[in-house]
Amino acid sequence: MRDDPLMDRVVDLDGAAAVLAQRTAGWESAGLEVGRPTWRDAEASWPQPLETDRARVQDPDSVGVVISGPAEAALSVVLFRGGWADVDFVADLDDAGCLPASGISSASDFATRMDQWVNRVFGSLGNGR
């Protein structure tokens, strides 16, 4: 294990992936397209490939998903086990950028934030649950 504080295991990524799986059917029934989760292995050689098969990842340090909606709206979320995420979005031509995503403390905290991010980009969808 590295001594890098960025590699701390703050968030259970398998728990976060379960959050995504629980919400996928609701998002899809609301008309969104949900990509397969992607995983990055902390132990893989650089450049670390993204895997869609969790079984191929021994020591996950991130899980991500891309959600697409009408009018080319999109949300890309990559959650890192250290408790932060890269969250990029395009709601429309005049509304795009990054959303703040630090201090994520658990899979349930991630769930709350995912609901907020999805609502921010695609509007209220009943939280996809």
63-83 confidence digits (pLDDT tens): 999 999 998 999 999 999 999
38 assigned to some structural domain: yes
pLDDT value for 124: 77
Per the structure, how many domains does the chain have? 1
126 assigned to some structural domain: no
Tell me which residue range forms the domain holding 66.
5-121
pLDDT higher than threshold 70 for residue 117: yes
Using left for φ > 0, alpha for ψ between -120 and 50, and beta otherwise, residue 35 falls in beta
88 assigned to some structural domain: yes
23-50 confidence digits (pLDDT tens): 999 999 999 999 999 999 999 999 999 9
